[in-house]
Amino acid sequence: MYNSIDDIKEKDGYDIRYREEEIDNLITWLSESTSENDKFLMKEDLKMLMSWTCEFIYSSEDTNEYIEISNE
């Protein structure tokens, strides 16, 4: 189990983020977005992240791809 974000191995092309913070960011961006396509994608990402139980995630630096980081 990871005790802090510093314990997680870096992955090329991805940032390590707290899942809950990314959910908060998506909610903010969703409320500010004027693009229906962007809103759709953010809603899908939000649903996915909310269904996960991990504390940390990898977030792509170039796309809206997320990868779970196991809590084990």
Instruction: List, for residues 16-39, the tens digit of each pLDDT value.
Output: 999 999 999 999 999 999 999 999
| Structural domain range at position 45 | 15-65
Distance between CA atoms of 3 and 71, rounded to whole angstroms? Answer: 10
Mean pLDDT of 37-54: 97
pLDDT surpassing 90 at residue 2: no
Please state, in angstroms and as integers, the Cα–Cα distance from residue 35 to each residue in 6, 56, 60, following that order.
Answer: 35, 28, 21
Please state, in angstroms and as integers, the Cα–Cα distance from residue 67 to each residue in 22, 31, 43, 71, following that order.
Answer: 12, 24, 17, 13
Q: For the chain, how many structural domains are there in total?
A: 1
Average pLDDT over all residues of the chain: 92
Q: What is the pLDDT of residue 3?
A: 65
Using a pLDDT cut of 70, give the percent of the chain over it.
93
Residue 2 forms part of a structural domain:
no
Residue 36 forms part of a structural domain:
yes
Per the CB < 8 A criterion, the answer to whether 55 and 71 are in contact is yes
